[in-house]
Amino acid sequence: GAVVSQHPSWVICKSGTSVKIECRSLDFQATTMFWYRQFPKQSLMLMATSNEGSKATYEQGVEKDKFLINHASLTLSTLTVTSAHPEDSSFYICSASNQDTQYFGPGTRLTVL
Amino acid sequence: GIQVEQSPPDLILQEGANSTLRCNFSDSVNNLQWFHQNPWGQLINLFYIPSGTKQNGRLSATTVATERYSLLYISSSQTTDSGVYFCAVAWGGSEKLVFGKGTKLTVNP
């Protein structure tokens, strides 16, 4: 139980385009999901908290207009990287809480050319 | 905010050896989790352990909340144990996890 999926697992896009990443909790409902970013050989940094039915809350320094988050249902949150640039290339990971424990998706590797 | 420090940053073992990884944190926590990140980037839950001791096969963990540290023990290590081990904590009643920088474990055959 407590499985979180992400799609796509990797994506390559051109600079200036937008990319949408989906995060799904497969066998439980999650009112709160989280989005993290991980640069090579570094730790995970929390970007934002996704709340079902309400606006996401962003960590300091994260541009909310660049990283659009939608949590339309209790099992789905999406992160859209708008007008992507090469510096947005990173590993994006989502998580969802189930009974005090956070479970993580497999991550999405974004490369912006 | 809370500080999370993991040690050692790197650890190289021969297969069969035992190891202890440490996580120190600077404030009281309401959540502490240990993860193993495999070479493909997947974070695998090892333990939810804000206090006390747990064991799961060759792995065990102990958190001494009053002294603000947690230990992850790996016994009889295998090559498949290689990867980065992260400690992450939540504090102040929040669900948000703050990650340490990780311990990179390499187990050689």
Please give the pLDDT value at position B33.
97
Least confident of A59-68, A86-95, A96-105, B17-26: A96-105
Please give the pLDDT value at position A53.
85
For chain B, 109 residues long, give each residue's pLDDT as a single digit of tens.
Answer: 999 999 999 999 999 999 999 999 999 999 999 999 998 999 999 999 999 999 999 999 999 999 999 999 999 999 999 999 999 999 999 999 999 999 999 999 9
Please give the pLDDT value at position A98.
87
**Sequence letter at residue A58:** Y
Number of Cα atoms under 13 Å in the Cβ half of residue B87: 29
pLDDT above 80: residue A1: no
Q: By the CB < 8 Å criterion, does A91 face chain B? A: yes
| CA–CA distance, A24 with A6 (Å, rounded to integer) | 6
Nearest to B97 among A2, A42, A46 (CB): A46
Residue A96 distance to chain B (closest CA, Å): 10
Cβ–Cβ below 8 Å for B102 and A109:
no
pLDDT above 80: residue A16: yes
How far from each other are the two terminal CA atoms of chain A, in whole angstroms? 37
- At A21-64, the pLDDT tens digits run 999 999 999 989 999 999 999 999 999 999 888 899 999 999 99
Contact A89, A112 (CB under 8 A): yes
Please give the pLDDT value at position A72.
84
Contact B25, B31 (CB under 8 A): no
SS3 of B24-87: the string is EECCCCCEEEEEEECCCCCEEEEEECCCEEEEECCEEEEEEHHHCEEEEEECCCCHHHCEEEEE
- To test the contact with chain A by mutation, choose from B31, B38, B49, B97 the residue with the greatest count of A C-beta atoms within 10 A, namely B97
Nearest to B97 among A38, A91, A102 (CB): A102
Cβ–Cβ below 8 Å for A43 and B101:
yes
Tell me which DSSP letter residue A33 carries. Answer: E
- To test the contact with chain B by mutation, choose from A33, A44, A52, A97 the residue with the greatest count of B C-beta atoms within 10 A, namely A44
Averaged confidence pLDDT in chain A: 94
